[in-house]
């Protein structure tokens, strides 16, 4: 349990406290949480623990206002809080075997170098980028790589500039899109298809609850979207004995993560599986020019090969029956092959009200992060009204969500030539759609990390490692946020 704050007045003392927590859990204590009061700057503390990690052969990952250390049998997260640092350590299973990390593919060296540089710049709340760092991130917004441009967007937003990648500003809605309209006109009511209210049954069609056309345009401003892709790529490089020549991408949606995957591994042939008829035209359009073949099918009825050395999925598992999703992944992954799943998960729950509260809090953190630095005066009039509604705390009750969604979904025309970050507001309507669908447990069916791991092991998969790459609610690595999980298919395919 977390006790009172302990005063720390030197980097050496801080290291001693972290090392003690690591050793306590490594030697048998289930968990240890320390709150350390200190006036020392975060860069000083971060560098001290990074040096400790090097000296003790610990795996260290730095992310903005926190870092994570992993050693055999123990994992510790160190998170900066106001005038204090929270150290959370827990005992873990044996550290998975990692191969010597594969080098970046020759044709992706620049992408990987920029990706690692930008993820290292991700600041915590209130941090300010150095002038040269801000200039680098601003230039990267225009990079041809969607991964690099999306990372730059995240870096700048967390530092106080509500950026939008250039490819998002340039990316039109596509020839079959229902988006359009002119300011002052009614505008389309949906991105694609007809919105379906929950009726107590499962809606199997994604586009019945989510505006797919808008999703295709604005998903890149989702907080930490590219961060999860970098972590997914790291896990592929860490757990594969050789560069993959084929990759299965399950639930590709309109194709943003699939393109990023191709940018990181340009020598691999990627088969993208997407069941949504609304998302599939966007997928075809976005993957053109890459070594990607798209299939309009779900993982449970996909009839393709069953020997992929690597299978991945980004943001799709919570739209499906998780057990059948995992079974399909195992079916199509070669014995000994790697499976990496990146997705949003919430904190553990034991009742419907607890799950509902967790879903609401989780999604509104993403909304608040996306809108944190958007100035109302910079937006077109329709987006100003939408912004005020989204930020109104009185509308965030379970009873008020549907009226808020109905209001914010109106008049969604595009603002061609407008340089304001209006795309961030529109992304938040998508997030609200997902929230309401999640409360209904319809199309959006989120679980929590421990349960996802248990379901994977029930399907015969071997757990390798897990990272929460972006936190929404809770201090633990197992609480709500964006997560990446690596699994191994140990033997015969089903």
| 3-class secondary structure per residue, 149-172 | HHHHHHHHHHCCCCCCCHHHHHCC
Rounded distance, CA 375 to CA 4, Å? Answer: 39
Rounded distance, CA 225 to CA 260, Å? Answer: 10
Residue 125's pLDDT is what? Answer: 52
Half-sphere CA count of 118, side-chain side, radius 13 A = 32
Residue 178's pLDDT is what? Answer: 53
- pLDDT beyond 60 at 187: no
- The CA–CA distances, whole Å, from 244 to 69, 160, 288, 338, 417 equal 28, 38, 21, 10, 41
Between 494 and 79, the higher pLDDT residue: 79
Residue 94's pLDDT is what? Answer: 62
CA-closest candidate to residue 329, choices 468, 242, 480, 455: 455
CA-closest candidate to residue 247, choices 304, 300, 205, 206: 304
- The CA–CA distances, whole Å, from 416 to 49, 382, 398 equal 47, 14, 35
Task: Say what the pTM is.
Answer: 0.80
Task: Tell me phi and psi for residue 271, to 5 degrees.
Answer: -105, 115
Question: pLDDT tier at 193 (50, 70, 90 boundaries)?
Answer: very low
- pLDDT beyond 80 at 327: yes
- pLDDT beyond 90 at 231: yes
Rounded distance, CA 408 to CA 91, Å? Answer: 45
Half-sphere CA count of 158, side-chain side, radius 13 A = 26
Half-sphere CA count of 81, side-chain side, radius 13 A = 14
Q: What is the pLDDT of residues 375-417, one digit of tens each?
A: 999 999 999 999 999 999 999 998 999 999 999 999 998 999 9
Q: Which residues touch 307 (CB under 8 Å, ≥6 apart)?
A: 333, 334, 337
Rounded distance, CA 238 to CA 103, Å? Answer: 10
- What percent of the chain is modeled with pLDDT above 70? 88
Question: pLDDT tier at 203 (50, 70, 90 boundaries)?
Answer: very low
Residue 340 buriedness (CB in 10 A; 0-12 / 13-18 / 19+)? buried
Rounded distance, CA 159 to CA 169, Å? Answer: 21
Residue 20's pLDDT is what? Answer: 86
* 351 DSSP assignment: S
Question: pLDDT tier at 104 (50, 70, 90 boundaries)?
Answer: confident
Residue 295 in 3-state DSSP?
A: strand
Question: pLDDT tier at 25 (50, 70, 90 boundaries)?
Answer: confident
Q: What is the pLDDT of residues 234-254, one digit of tens each?
A: 999 999 989 999 999 999 999
Mean pLDDT of the chain: 88
Between 120 and 422, the higher pLDDT residue: 422
- pLDDT beyond 60 at 442: yes
């Amino acid at each position: 349990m977390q006790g009172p704050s302990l005063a720390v007045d030197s980097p050496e003392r801080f290291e001693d406290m972290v090392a003690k927590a690591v050793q306590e859990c490594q030697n048998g204590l289930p968990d240890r949480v320390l709150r350390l009061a200190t006036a020392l700057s975060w860069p000083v503390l971060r560098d001290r623990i990074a040096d400790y990690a090097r000296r003790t052969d610990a795996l260290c990952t730095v992310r903005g206002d926190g870092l994570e250390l992993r050693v055999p049998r123990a994992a510790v997260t160190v998170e900066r809080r106001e005038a204090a640092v929270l150290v959370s350590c827990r005992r873990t299973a044996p550290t998975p075997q990692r191969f010597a990390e594969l080098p970046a593919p020759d044709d992706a060296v620049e992408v990987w170098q920029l990706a690692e540089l930008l993820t290292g710049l991700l600041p915590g709340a209130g941090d300010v980028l150095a002038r040269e760092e801000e200039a680098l991130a601003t230039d990267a917004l225009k990079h041809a790589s969607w991964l690099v441009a999306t990372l730059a967007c995240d870096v700048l937003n967390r530092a106080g500039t509500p950026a939008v990648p250039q490819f998002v500003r340039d990316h039109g809605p596509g020839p079959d899109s229902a988006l359009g309209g002119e300011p002052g006109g009614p505008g389309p009511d949906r991105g694609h298809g007809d919105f379906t209210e929950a009726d107590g049954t499962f809606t199997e069609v994604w586009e019945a609850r989510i505006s797919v056309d808008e999703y295709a345009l604005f998903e890149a401003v989702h907080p930490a979207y590219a961060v999860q892709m970098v972590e997914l790529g790291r896990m592929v490089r860490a757990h594969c004995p050789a560069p993959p020549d084929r990759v299965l991408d399950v639930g590709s949606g309109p194709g943003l993560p699939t393109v990023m995957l191709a940018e990181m591994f340009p020598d691999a042939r990627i088969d993208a599986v997407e069941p949504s008829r609304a998302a599939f035209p966007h997928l075809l359009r976005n993957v053109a020019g890459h070594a990607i073949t798209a299939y309009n099918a779900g993982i449970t009825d996909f009839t393709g090969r069953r020997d992929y050395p690597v299978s991945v999925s980004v943001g799709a598992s919570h739209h499906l029956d998780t057990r059948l999703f995992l079974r399909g992944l195992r079916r199509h992954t070669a014995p000994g092959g790697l499976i990496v799943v990146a997705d949003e998960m919430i904190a553990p729950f034991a009742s419907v009200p607890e799950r509902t509260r967790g879903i609401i809090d989780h999604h509104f953190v993403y909304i608040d992060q996306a809108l944190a630095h958007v100035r109302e005066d910079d937006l077109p009039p329709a987006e100003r009204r939408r912004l005020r509604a989204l930020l109104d705390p009185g509308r965030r009750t379970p009873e008020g969500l549907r009226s808020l969604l109905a209001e914010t979904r109106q008049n969604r025309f595009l603002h061609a030539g407008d340089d304001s970050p209006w795309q961030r507001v529109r992304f938040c309507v998508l997030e609200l759609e997902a929230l309401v669908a999640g409360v209904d447990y319809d199309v959006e069916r989120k679980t929590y990390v421990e349960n996802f791991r248990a379901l994977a092991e029930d399907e015969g998969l071997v757990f390798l490692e897990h990272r929460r790459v972006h936190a929404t609610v809770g201090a633990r690595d197992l609480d709500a946020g964006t997560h990446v999980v690596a699994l191994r298919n140990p033997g015969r395919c089903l």
